[in-house]
Amino acid sequence: MNRRIIILFVLAFFCLAPQGFADEKYGTKYGPETVEKPFSIGIGASFALENTNVEKLTQEIRPLGQRVDFDNSWGINLRAGYKFTGIFAGEVVFDWINGFPWEGSYVFKGGRNFAEISADVRTLTAAGRLAPPIGDFWRFRPYLFVGGGFMQAVIKADYTRFGQKFGFSNQETQICLKGGAGADFFLSKSISLGLEASYTQGLQNLEEIGYFLLTGNTAYHF
């Protein structure tokens, strides 16, 4: 499964990147010399829809005796970008997810016990963005992006057993992939509002963790 995901992301990147630099296709209309404000910084808020492989994760973190099914969460992100041409840019994004939560009770040796688990996730990714010139390109810019980076996940659990409180945590950092699509609406040449949908997938020891993000953001271009 992960091999297919990696191949898909690699193919998408090599399809997007050459188009961004292929000025012959669009003449000089979107070449590097047309970029007035190449740098950008931004901030946004996200709704995070979890897609965790709970079967494997439950076995790894269980002394709880019950299936774990995480709820959705929210997050914030910071981003910085650079436009190489009028239609191709690179971007670095930091995403912080406020813990996918789960809480419930379970019966152990005739007694009812309670547990709370959270999966805090942070990612730092770099991506290439292709914005095909569609419609009013100065004001409205849809785009596709694909990239990868690092994911850090912290699993925390607190539970009671026979009235006593216990807890543990486990932290792991591995590589991840991220891709999606979005659109920027420019209020002026310096200020934009954006809406973006993306999917992030952890790899190696974090292959159980994946999630969708729906992000609203604002950016300053200079």
Chain centroid to CA 31: how far? 29
Segments forming the whole domain that contains residue 183: 2-221
pLDDT score, position 90: 95
Q: What are phi and psi of 51, to 5 degrees?
A: -135, 50
CATH of the domain at 51: 2.40.160.20
Q: How many domains does the chain have?
A: 1
DSSP 116-165: EEEEEEEEEEEEEEE----SSTTTEEEEEEEEEEEEEEEEEEEEEETTEE
Summarize pLDDT for 47-61 with one digit per residue, the tens. Answer: 999 988 766 555 554
23 has pLDDT over 50: no
Name the amino acid, one letter, at 211: Y
pTM comes to 0.79
